[in-house]
Structure 1
Amino acid sequence: MKYGQFVMQVFLLTIVGGLSLTYSQTLNAPTSLTVEVNDTAEVDCKIQQNDDRAMYTAEDITWYNQNQAIPEEMYSTISNTTSVLVLPFVQFADAGDYSCRLGNGVVSTTQIQVGTVPRIANFSCQARNMKEVWCTWDPMPSNLPTTYVFTYKLSHSKKWGDCPDSVTKGPNSCYIEQSLGTPHNMRVVATNDLGSKVWLFNINPDTQSKPDPPEDVKVIAETSNIAAVSWKIPSEWYSPHFTLHYKLQYYSEWQPHICQRNLMQILSFLIR
């Protein structure tokens, strides 16, 4: 829970033997409070004074929500100067302004926010070749302002670096060029007023790259029983020192079972 402080003052001026004596009372309550949904919210409203001869005590404090009086059973006096409002099992609809008031109209207001700890879903990273990698994630609603910070590092390094490109792959993403085929540690930290959570993902473009499908696939009938199949390397595969292996599957009306050919460094094949 996060608190701020708000103070209202009321002054009592008396004349004793020609001397002016000023007694003051203040209302001291949090300006804001953030509570997790289904938790219990407790708000203290304290009277502070510079003299024991007080005009008001905590028994004189009443509570309001959006200027609507709150039933007395929802708050209690725990000392001569402190009243406590208790809201059990708060829901999102309970968010709003709650005020404690003294009999003369002095008011202290607390804004209560209700939310959940930050969460993300579908955090994953992928590589289409050995020189680039990117990660994406989906923020989950928390009903609170939430920040998401992506950092990464090479597995042998101790220093985390900021995301170099959060635009190319769209919102909630990070794109890293020149990944050098080294194992990477990826991290997303989500933070709001209820705390922070960390998600990690490890990927090695050398061993976990998943190339795009071949491009410009063509089938041409050479004769009545021969077909020529050709294709091009995926355009995103610019790793000249690493060759792709292809798997060609086909069947004909005369041979309904699927035939398969494993091809290395070949961009065409004749089916007979």
Structure 2
Amino acid sequence: TLTCQDEVPENATVLWQLKEQGATGGWGQQLAEGNTLLLRRLRYEDSGHYSCSVGSHLLRSLRLLVAEPPETPQVSCYRRSHDKDVLCEWPQQEKPSPGTRAMLWVKRRFVAENATEHRCRYFSKARKFICRVKVPPGTDDTKHLVVSTCVSNSAGGSAGKDKIITLSSVLKPDPPVNVTVKAVEKAPQWLQVNWSYPSSWDPRFYWLRFQVRYRPEPAPTFMEVDQVTTTWLDIRDAWRGTRHVVQVRAKDEFGHGAWSEWSQEAVGTPWTGRREIWGPETGYSVPVEDGTCGVTLPPMLFGEDDSNGAGGEEGFLGVKGRDTQGVCSLALPSAPLPCRYRQTWWTSGQQMTKPEGEGQHMLVPLSLPPPTLSDTPLLSHPVPSAPGMLHMTHTDYSSSGQ
């Protein structure tokens, strides 16, 4: 409430006017009439010179200042790499008043020398003051420095508590970038994570070590992998068929300073290929469990002739689709991995036994035959069985790795 005068002549009309701060020329906008002026919900923009007058006769002039006392700085400093300047900052709960000035001083500890002065700027989006401290080339990273701060405006001033730092202790890299998560073919529990150094860190002179954390999306907590010195990592215990969230952060290779913030989240799902046993003529297929390629198939897949029960040489067994974790693949143009081959014959009313010499079905070679593994044949002749009994051939073999 602004009052013009204690006593005002009767029948006189008092008029209030505002000349805003920085305005030039005559008096500004007219506000209200009366001996008192009530201003509600004051804002910074309400600052200025207020005057009351009767006609052209000036009765009184007042200067009104609207400002918030500055908040006490709580400064923290960091350095994005060994060749970058130091940035010191502190947050603000409220927007500072217009005309607020923030300063920072840096000097070496226990040395009688003048401190270097640095002006700080307020960034409204980040809601913080930020000061840039130049670091001369060749400065010792282990020497202690004293950082002092002060904020002032027309409503008062406030000084922060001194902070003691070293250039190595405030080292904090930017988070890694370009984080990608890819599935690994034939490996349903693997994920390959790749990332890049941040542009603010030059790996030609100093390296970073990394920490990777990941979780399947149903899980609430992360699993972490430490001491990663490369820009890639193979996760080998991922959940099959489940989308995973992955993040990476970085730190100086010698452990100086602090970890960077976590990178942006990247997502990926392990390989979900399906393997099947199939017959070329019937199109009959059976899913195969992971970790094995041993199945029991009806004789029709081996070229069984229903009329005479004789098996032909043209019948074969194939594996279609993708394999997982080094399990065998008989249809690939490379030497087969360890595999279990199982063949079963069922008895019927017309056929009680399998004639001797039949039931041997050679694997059709897909490329040049590999060197002989041993003098022992892969599939031995079956022993004649008695009528009504089940005849089975069960042979294990393994490759030489060639």
- Give the TM-score normalised by structure 1: 0.49
Structure 1 or 2, whichever has the larger Rg, is 2
- Give the TM-score normalised by structure 2: 0.36
Of Structure 1 and Structure 2, the greater strand share is in 1
